[in-house]
Chains A and B, each alone.
Chain A
Amino acid sequence: MVAPLIEVEALSKTYRVPVKGEGLSGSLRSLWNREYRDVEAVKNISFRIAAGERVGFLGPNGAGKTTTLKMLSGLLFPTSGQIRIAGFTPQDRAVAFLGRITLVMGQKQQLLWDLPPRESFLLNRAMYGVDPVVFKKTLDELVTMLRIEAVLDKPVRNLSLGERMKCELVAALLHQPQVLFLDEPTIGLDVEMQVQVRKFIADYNQATGATVILTSHYMQDIAALTPRLLVIDHGSLRYDGGLIALAERVAPERRIVVKGGPKELSELGFMEVDGDQIATLTPEETNKRLAAVLARWPMVEIAVESPPLEEVMARYFREGA
């Protein structure tokens, strides 16, 4: 078996945060008698990721996804546990390690705000020691893929959010990293732009074989991009596997929707919702009921749906372990 590219063993991160009492009196009290509370952001997480994999970190706000990603990229020191990425320990921040990875954060930016994106790209070229010929070729490719020729020489502050995100991706990929850490890369983008960014990340992974680790709030990001899912909840790893398998486990039921179906369908257990007749059933029952409907009303418009992924995940997090 090929050795995994990323190995994480019993990783934990605890933040020490000051606790402040309520109101002004609380603030005054905390001046001389400050109390601290330990927050376990990540608790004893272990996993392995092979080179070229696309993996999604999923979890509610404050679950520990971003903290995990920041430890993997060497920004944060783990409180305990081990991380090995391609033979490096991220928190050592070795030059050779940093040259192999990239981190894109949807809510932070590395582009120089007052200058055109081209200047940020040139700065990164110098910092990462990219050969000028390779740099030009990579830049041309990325610019073409993302269709941003027109914005290269406009100050970053004048770009739209979508244009800026695309330029952030270019800045992050100019040194051709082998591991991409993407923290909410589509946050705040409109649907069309989200689709473009997703397609770009998938194409980039296909073309370069780079490993992609992504966190997102948008289920569509996860569904479209990452065949493997790590669900992190309250700092612990709750699930490691495929999205479909998880959906099957949490919400195996199917929904039969008969568009504008006859009211008599209620005899077969259907309910009317917005003029359609809908029944929610186990997979085994679905086929039988489908046959029964079609036997009586062969001409109706009928669809079988799985529950929406958002609904599945909401149920998963609500129901707990």
Chain B
Amino acid sequence: MSAPPNAPRLWTVCSALARVALMNALQYREGFLVEFFVGTGNVVAILLPLAVIFDRSASVAGWNWDQSLLVTGFFLLQSAVMGGLVEPNLGAVVEGIRAGQMDYLLLRPVDAQLVASTQRVAPAKVWDAVAAVGVIGWGLHGTGLPDLGAFAAAFALLLAGILAMYSLWLLVICLSFWFVRVDNLRYLLGAVADAGRWPVDIYRGVARVFLTVVVPVALATSWPALALLGRLDVALTAQAIVVSCGLFALSRWAWLRALRSYTSASS
């Protein structure tokens, strides 16, 4: 036998996958325009109830209007990243398992989770991200600019929260190796994640633990806002790291287990 092939470099693989994902997505440019209006409408729909509440009260659970805008902004940013980079892929995996199209993904000498998580993008979600940054800017206009360290901490927490939510989605997807249809679970997860748009302090007891540990969407929404407001302590930061790394490790383990049960729907 001749020498084994060069171990593919991660960067080459990722950029090739990103290229294909973008080319695929850009085929449908009408969608790009539609997404702009949908995204704008979405921002208005999310801000409206917030405006109604703060019209009657200056502060809710210790958060004022400007501070709540930060949470909303991070929620929109989290949604944009999940909707643009994560959800299209995981949806494709479910379909691939049902139809047996996962075969070729598993045959490539590249980590299957990496390929499964990066083959699709929805670039139109960039509108949502732009709107999200706008909302955060609006909030900061009222609260005042924090220092650079606070920005870095907020960004790191946002990433940790997104990693945790990605891991959670992957766990749901893993279930589809056994149950094939997990659409309802995906909708449920989406609905629960929606709770992250409100400052986490409005939730008490079990609900609060749920949103910071089990479906830790608050890690990506309220906590980055707290970081920008200089109200985040070491304990909360450590919790964010432990929860997101723990969920990621769990999802990785589940993914590797799930591959063993892949049945490759018959050709």
- A, B bound: yes
Residues of A within 8 A of B (CB): 15, 51, 66, 70, 73-77, 86, 91, 93, 95-103, 105-110, 112, 114-115, 119, 122-131, 175, 178, 183-184
- Give the residues in chain A near B109, CB-CB below 8 Å: 95-99, 127-129
Instruction: Describe B's contact surface by its main secondary structure.
Output: loop
Asked if A76 contacts B262 (CB within 8 A), the reply is yes
**For the complex, what is the distance from the CA of A48 to the CA of B266, rounded to whole Å?**
25
Closest to B107 in A: A103
New contact pairs (11) apart from A15-B263, A99-B4, A114-B24, CB-CB < 8 Å = A75-B107, A76-B264, A86-B1, A91-B260, A95-B110, A108-B100, A108-B104, A122-B16, A123-B16, A127-B115, A130-B5
Could you tell me the distance in whole angstroms from the C-beta of B245 to the nearest C-beta in chain A? Answer: 25
**For the complex, what is the distance from the CA of A88 to the CA of B9, rounded to whole Å?**
22
**For the complex, what is the distance from the CA of A110 to the CA of B6, rounded to whole Å?**
22
Contact of B20 among A96, A108, A115 (CB under 8 A): A115
Could you tell me the distance in whole angstroms from the C-beta of A211 to the nearest C-beta in chain B? Answer: 10
- Report the count of interface residues on B (CB-CB < 8 A): 36
Could you tell me the distance in whole angstroms from the C-beta of A94 to the nearest C-beta in chain B? Answer: 8
Contact of A98 among B20, B107, B264 (CB under 8 A): B107
**For the complex, what is the distance from the CA of A126 to the CA of B2, rounded to whole Å?**
20
Per-position contact with A for B1-30: 1 when CB-CB < 8 Å, else 0? 110111111001101110010011001000
Asked if A129 contacts B264 (CB within 8 A), the reply is no
Q: Is B204 an interface residue (CB 8 A)?
A: no
- Give the residues in chain A near B13, CB-CB below 8 Å: 126-127
Could you tell me the distance in whole angstroms from the C-beta of A122 to the nearest C-beta in chain B? Answer: 7
Asked if A184 contacts B8 (CB within 8 A), the reply is no
Asked if B24 contacts A112 (CB within 8 A), the reply is yes
- Give the residues in chain A near B4, CB-CB below 8 Å: 96, 99-100
- Give the residues in chain A near B8, CB-CB below 8 Å: 126-129
Q: Is B267 an interface residue (CB 8 A)?
A: yes
Closest to A99 in B: B5
Q: Is B193 an interface residue (CB 8 A)?
A: no
Asked if A75 contacts B262 (CB within 8 A), the reply is yes
Asked whether A93 and B106 contact (CB < 8 A) given A76-B262, A108-B100, A178-B1, the answer is yes
Contact of B5 among A103, A108, A109, A175 (CB under 8 A): A175
Q: Is B108 an interface residue (CB 8 A)?
A: yes
**For the complex, what is the distance from the CA of A168 to the CA of B26, rounded to whole Å?**
24
Asked if A119 contacts B1 (CB within 8 A), the reply is no
- Give the residues in chain A near B108, CB-CB below 8 Å: 98, 124, 127-128
**For the complex, what is the distance from the CA of A76 to the CA of B264, rounded to whole Å?**
7
Q: Is B101 an interface residue (CB 8 A)?
A: yes
- Give the residues in chain A near B259, CB-CB below 8 Å: 93
- Give the residues in chain B near A66, CB-CB below 8 Å: 266-267
Could you tell me the distance in whole angstroms from the C-beta of A43 to the nearest C-beta in chain B? Answer: 18
Asked if A119 contacts B264 (CB within 8 A), the reply is no
- Give the residues in chain A near B100, CB-CB below 8 Å: 108
Asked if A70 contacts B16 (CB within 8 A), the reply is no
**For the complex, what is the distance from the CA of A129 to the CA of B261, rounded to whole Å?**
28
Could you tell me the distance in whole angstroms from the C-beta of A49 to the nearest C-beta in chain B? Answer: 14
Asked whether A95 and B2 contact (CB < 8 A) given A108-B104, A123-B17, the answer is no
